[in-house]
Amino acid sequence: MGLLDGKFVVLGVSGGIAAYRACELARLLVKDGAQLQVVLTSAAAEMIGSVTFQALSGRPAEVGQGGSLAVSGMPHIDLGRDADLIIVAPATANSLAKFAAGLADNLLSATVLASTCPVVLAPAMNTRMWENRITQANVSLLNQLERMIFVGPASGSLACGEEGAGRMEDPVFLLEAVRAVLSKNDLEGRKVLVTAGPTREPVDPVRSLTNRSSGKMGYALAAAARRRGAKVVLVSGPTALTPPWGVKLVEVETAAQMAQAVDKNISQCNLVLMAAAVADFKPKTRAKQKIKKGRALGVIELSRTKDILAALGKKKKKPLLVGFAAETGDPVKAARQKLKAKRLDLMVANDVSLPDAGFDVDTNRVHLVDGQASQELPLLSKEEVAERILDRVVKMLPKKRKT
């Protein structure tokens, strides 16, 4: 099951060198459940064969004026009417100019013109072409239409050997943009702070006390909140993950740094989701030099770290607070104790002794625990768990004041 299950997406590919990266995007869209129709311009088809897209999407890709769909009569009208979303990646200067001018001289431009659904545009071109006033005028014209959503271009080294703005945005980010556009928007206007990953408490310059958190649960929550329209700050301990598209990432290492980053970013926050596995203890002192192996095994004295959530729970004016409980026994009982002790609104309890839940794996089994009851969710991907947590939390948030 993917977040794009049941969605009909048209992927338009125009003729830029970045067309090869559209193959990866097609793969990701299909993997996420989308029914995909690829439409290539003739120039794009000279760069990447339509057979590649056919294999990736499971249906014939259309080229130029369209071929196989033409038998059905009016392919551009059918696609424009049926698509839940169109994404054009790469969108060349030429294609943007056509969309802005309302031209319909190939199947892609005709489909965009005949559609009413959201259109995600991922520009890719030489920097000077992007910065050209004519292209920029086309971009601002398209931007006036709410359903046209630009993602990118990114900056970096370009195929022409120059540096600057003009790279097509990463396919992973484009997938995330598609998911966001098609997602519920029930966190719009809200600020959400998420913590993720482990903390690392140094013993000496090369060793530290840490835990097995990969950050996956917290990153999934940050991505889901962003998709649903929230402004998201993600305070993250060390992980190997790519930060989700559109969130503000604050990287920290120790529990003390995490506490500081939370304090700094908490103002105006409506919701805190504390998925980080914060170390409860840290070495009392940090050796300046590497402790030598030969030294007699000593004792590392520990002191408590600040309990970040408990401190937030004590505040008079506080956002909705959601904690996580990593347990190895009865997760609900322990989670309810923590909920009360830290004065939280909701606890997400996971039994980290199960092989398919908790640390590092891509799935989780959680219980949502409040003061009165608990709800057990089935085994789900961490992305789905994040969505289900937010479904619950959205109902608990105070209604937005009308301005």
In the complex, least distance from residue 323 CB atom to ligand PMT, rounded to whole angstroms: 4
| CB-based contact 186:394 (threshold 8 Å) | yes
Find the part of the chain contacting ligand PMT (CB under 6 A) among 29-37, 60-68, 117-125, 307-315. 307-315
Is residue 215 near ligand PMT by the rule CB under 6 A?
yes
Q: Half-sphere exposure (CA, 13 Å, Cβ side) for 184?
A: 9
- The answer to whether residue 254 forms part of the interface with ligand PMT (CB under 6 A) is no
- Indicate whether 24 belongs to the interface with ligand PMT (CB under 6 A): no
Does 358 participate in binding ligand PMT (rule CB under 6 A)?
Answer: yes
Residue from 208, 213, 236, 270 touching ligand PMT (CB under 6 A): that is: 213
318-337 residues near ligand PMT, rule: CB under 6 A:
323-326
Contact segment (CB under 6 A) with ligand PMT among 1-9, 42-50, 352-360, 390-398 equals 352-360
- Asked whether position 223 contacts ligand PMT by CB under 6 A, the answer is no
Mark the segment that binds ligand PMT (CB under 6 A) among 57-65, 74-82, 132-140, 356-364.
Answer: 356-364
Determine whether 160 is an active site residue.
Answer: yes
Decide: is 252 part of the binding site for ligand PMT (CB under 6 A). Answer: no
Task: Answer whether 328's CB lies under 8 Å from 279's CB.
Answer: no
| Interface pattern 360-379 for ligand PMT (x via CB under 6 A) | x-------------------
Residues 6+ apart with CB under 8 A from 296: none
- Could you give the CA distance from residue 181 to residue 174 in angstroms, rounded to a whole number? 11
Q: With CB under 6 A as the rule, give the number of residues binding ligand PMT.
A: 27
Q: Is 393 in the site for ligand PMT (CB under 6 A)?
A: no
Distance in Å, CB of 113 to ligand PMT, minimum: 44
What would the two tokens of residue 366 be? 């959680």
Shortest reach from residue 252's CB to ligand PMT, in Å? 12
Q: Examine residue 280 and tell whether it contacts ligand PMT (CB under 6 A).
A: yes
Nearer to ligand PMT by Cβ, of 59 and 306: the residue is: 306
Instruction: Establish if 339 lies at the interface with ligand PMT (CB under 6 A).
Output: no
Q: Please give the structure tokens belonging to residue 106.
A: 């190939």
- Say which of 23, 117, 160, 269 is annotated catalytic: 160
**Closer to ligand PMT by Cβ: residue 171 or 358:** 358
Environment class of 363 (CB within 10 Å of its CB; exposed 0-12, middle 13-18, buried 19+): middle
Distance CA 76, CA 25 (A): 22
**Between 48 and 279, whose beta carbon lies closer to ligand PMT?**
279
Least distance (Å) between residue 58 CB and ligand PMT:
32
Angle at 100 between CA 62 and CA 230, to 5 degrees: 90
Q: Which of 7, 216, 228, 231 binds ligand PMT (CB under 6 A)?
A: 216
Q: Is 277 in the site for ligand PMT (CB under 6 A)?
A: yes
Residue 246, sorted as left (phi over 0), alpha (psi -120 to 50) or beta, turns out to be: left
| Cα distances (angstroms) measured from residue 140 to each of 85, 89, 105, 128 | 21, 18, 22, 17
Sketch the per residue contact string, 257 through 276, with ligand PMT: x for CB under 6 A, - otherwise: -----------------xxx
- Binding to ligand PMT by residue 352, rule CB under 6 A? yes
Q: Considering the complex, what minimum distance in angstroms separates the CB of residue 247 from ligand PMT? A: 16
How close are the terminal C-alpha atoms of the chain, in Å?
A: 39
Cβ partners under 8 Å of residue 227, min gap 6: 176, 179, 180, 183
- Measured over the CA atoms of residue 238, residue 234, residue 222 and residue 278, the dihedral's sign is positive
Distance CA 315, CA 399 (A): 21
Site membership for ligand PMT, residue 200 (CB under 6 A): no
**Is residue 281 a contact residue for ligand PMT (CB under 6 A)?**
no
Contact 147, 116 (CB under 8 A): yes
User: Which of 78, 251, 307, 391 forms a contact with ligand PMT (CB under 6 A)?
Assistant: 307
Residues at the contact surface with ligand PMT, assessed by CB under 6 A: 213-218, 255, 274-278, 280, 305, 307-309, 323-326, 338, 350, 352, 358-360
Catalytic positions are 160
